[in-house]
Structure 1
Amino acid sequence: MSRIAFFRTLVTCAGVMGALGVMLAAASAHQPDASRLASASSMLLFHAAAVLGAIALVERGVVHLQIGLAATCGFVIATSLFAGDLALRQFVGHGLFPMAAPTGGTLLIVSWIALAVSAAWPRRA
């Protein structure tokens, strides 16, 4: 897969994350005791924007290519784990798998640290 195709895939993921975030925000406003959906919505919306920003930084060479892309993929995977687990718990009554949300949260922290490292790492000429 070419770099541009990979970037487009990540931007598509960000668009889907944003749409799902809005949908979960609406659902949380209309369901009783839907704090899980509000948290899932926030994570999706926030990290959709983070994915777009990280891709722009990678594309412009501001951050280290491989580390920046790893952080960006981490945002997509981790947010999917975290929000997916919370949404399933709300709608179905069980999560993805044991510790899915904490695993996603931990991976989000690691991804943010990786993005910081990718900015501090010297970029290749």
Structure 2
Amino acid sequence: MRLSGLDRALAALACLAGLLGVALSAAAAHIPGADSLKTAAQFLLFHAPAILALVGFGAASLARAGLARVAAGLLILGLILFCGDLAVRTWLQHPLFPMAAPIGGFALMGGWLVGILGALVPARRGA
């Protein structure tokens, strides 16, 4: 099994999500009333392994690789928007931009939906 450059980038971003999840968990433990940071940390930590699994499943032809990459990309985009908005609201007291969190939430749901399709659509032989 060989990972493409895109797969490696997605895996690296998944690991970054895990790192940020741990960092935000630690920050939230030291900031009174930082419930938004706790939520952002949980989302990052829950989705990081899912992104790694999507990359691995696609590379191993256990899921349609293209759909797995799109799903992973949507999860990453959703994390950036949703968790980024929660963190910016906590620290800077204003949103990342209007509707960032809801757009991020829809991107996350879209990522899971595309992940379902990637798992159900048979992988191409020899791909």
Fold conserved between structures, TM > 0.5: yes
In the alignment, residue 19 of structure 1 is paired with which amino acid?
Answer: L
Following the alignment from structure 2 to structure 1, what is the Cα–Cα distance between the partners of residues 58 and 124?
12
Deviation at 1:11, TM superposition (A): 1.2
Q: How high is the TM-score relative to the length of structure 2?
A: 0.93
Q: Percent identity?
A: 37
Deviation at 1:76, TM superposition (A): 0.8
Instruction: Give the count of matched residue pairs.
Output: 123
Greater than 4 Å deviation, 4+ residue runs:
none
Unpaired runs of 5+ in structure 2? Answer: none
In the alignment, residue 97 of structure 1 is paired with which amino acid?
Answer: F
Partner in structure 2 of residue 68 of structure 1 = 68
Following the alignment from structure 2 to structure 1, what is the Cα–Cα distance between the partners of residues 53 and 122?
19
Query: Residue 67 of structure 2 contacts residue 115 of structure 2 at CA under 8 Å; is this kept in 1?
Result: yes
In the alignment, residue 61 of structure 1 is paired with which amino acid?
Answer: S
Indicate the SS of the match to 2:4. helix
Unpaired runs of 5+ in structure 1? Answer: none
Following the alignment from structure 2 to structure 1, what is the Cα–Cα distance between the partners of residues 16 and 120?
30
Query: Residue 58 of structure 2 contacts residue 68 of structure 2 at CA under 8 Å; is this kept in 1?
Result: yes
| RMSD of aligned alpha carbons | 0.9
Indicate the SS of the match to 2:96. coil
